[in-house]
Structure 1
Amino acid sequence: MSTELILVRHGESVANVTPVIGGMTGDVGLTDRGRRQAELLAERLRAEKFEADVLYASTLPRAQQTARYVSQALGLPVLDDAELQELRPGDADGLSVGEWKSRWPGLADGMWRRPFQAFASGGESWATFLARAGAGLTELVARHPGERIVAVTHGGVIEASLALVFGLGPTTARVKFALANTGVTTWRHDPAADAAHWTLVSVNDAAHLSGLAPEGDGLSAIR
């Protein structure tokens, strides 16, 4: 029996547009535009009579605030899952991107070429983040076999899901994905499949945002 895993990126956040390193300290939640994006997503879910079995969210404020809109639309409580957090920035949390680059010279420009190098002291590297995010998503699927899971998370976690399934490990050339705020990516997992267990059903579905003016890429150092 297959399991559906639906990953929703949070709405536009203050950390996205400032830009600030948005860990638990630097993340102050959504912008007005981000709240409107979440409202539009909720309206779409209601219009489509979308149903799910369980709703999870990253514990970062921007994901928690987005998840409240999804919760109201689905009639489900939000279950917190810290493993759905974005890459953990350690001591860079709350700094501006400029301050981060000044405090750790050369790190920002070289991070993706050195995948085992921490984002900052006490933070995760791209490699450790991939492992943690992949394990967290695998655990969600294992916990809810045959169910439809909605998880409100971050661009990096969705990117990690794509990278891991497509075999783009930490030492391969990084492929970046332009993921819209509140965009929806859907996976189907079938443990009984003869070959690939994962099927990518849709990626970055943001049809509910068609009435909004085009946004920037919404990408900060921590998304």
Structure 2
Amino acid sequence: MTTNLYLIRHGEALSAIQGTIGNSELSPLGIVQAEHLRDRLAATHEIKADVFMCSTLHRARQTAQIIAPALDSPLLVDEEIEEMRAGGTDGMPAEEYQRTYGPIDFRKAPLKQPAPGGESWGEFQLRVGTALERIVNTYEDKTIVLVCHGGIIDGSFIYFFRLSSLAVPQAGFRTRNTSITHWQKRGPDRRWRLMRYNDALHLHDIGTPARIPWDQIRALPASDEERPTEPVPTEEHQ
């Protein structure tokens, strides 16, 4: 049996281009990004969702609603896959936020709250790990799609690779809007494996006169059909 977990980052948010903190909707570009992902998924059928969830935040929920027709699965909302909570600062300009609360180096202070009611690094990573543990155990052997945030996707690496939740990794990630990250658990060892990260090919034709012909592209590379169903011995110990 196989469990597939697809993590999709929301489209570009208005707050990202306005330089504000908080729970904003998608920007015009963010809407186009989500529409291009929807068209890709509808044509390729590369993700057959048994479970479809999104964060409660506007940018994630709006992205999920746009791509929903391509997945044909009821949309569930889960507040535990929200981005790191900054506290009661919705709509505050980022510069004012910095002046008011000051910068925080989570490497030196992983348990310090960024603002009243906000989450520390350690609290956020605990929430991410707890949420992913609950979701993959509840829906084991199913295909799960979460429309969430860059922080959740970054945290998935800490969770699946069992890294310390109190130490900010030396290497980081640059997760693109509406990109797909795919984790899979299968085989006799039942270990999680990263199948792909930051797959945002559907964004490459935005602003060009051409469109990617998704209906002429395979859902999986042809070479995947030649791979053994079970991992070969060298893969089992990676």
TM-score range relative to shorter protein? 0.7 to 0.9
1:121 alignment partner in structure 2? 116
Offset at residue 191 of structure 1 (A): 8.8
1:210 aligns with 2:207: no
1:29 alignment partner in structure 2? 25
Offset at residue 109 of structure 1 (A): 4.2
1:82 aligns with 2:107: no
1:110 aligned counterpart, secondary structure: coil
Question: Would the aligned equivalents of 2:101 and 2:114 in 1 still touch at CA under 8 Å?
Answer: no
Between stretches 153-162 and 164-173, larger displacement belongs to 164-173
Offset at residue 171 of structure 1 (A): 3.5
Q: 1:201 aligns with which of 195, 201, 223?
A: 195
1:148 aligns with 2:158: no
1:198 aligned counterpart, secondary structure: strand
1:183 aligns with 2:174: no
Unaligned runs of 5+ in 2: 208-238
1:162 alignment partner in structure 2? 157
Distance 2:187 2:20 in 1: 40
Question: Would the aligned equivalents of 2:107 and 2:167 in 1 still touch at CA under 8 Å?
Answer: no
Distance 1:142 1:191 in 2: 17
Superposed CA deviations along residues 166-200 of structure 1, whole A, max 9, x for unmatched, are 34423334332011000000001349526xx2110
Q: 2:66 aligns with which of 69, 73, 77?
A: 69
1:96 aligns with 2:90: no
1:202 aligned counterpart, secondary structure: strand
Higher relative contact order (CA 8 A, sep 6+): 1
Distance 1:146 1:62 in 2: 28
Runs of 4+ in 1 over 4 A off after TM superposition: none
Superposed CA deviations along residues 22-46 of structure 1, whole A, max 9, x for unmatched, are 2xxxx22000100000000000001
Unaligned runs of 5+ in 1: 214-223
Larger Rg: 2
TM-score normalised by length of structure 2: 0.81
What is the number of equivalent residue pairs in this alignment?
206
Distance 1:166 1:185 in 2: 15
1:59 alignment partner in structure 2? 56
Distance 1:82 1:160 in 2: 16
Identity of aligned residues (%): 37
Distance 2:6 2:161 in 1: 17
Q: Which amino acid is 2:179 matched to?
A: G
Question: Would the aligned equivalents of 1:13 and 1:34 in 2 still touch at CA under 8 Å?
Answer: yes
2:8 alignment partner in structure 1? 8
RMSD: 1.8
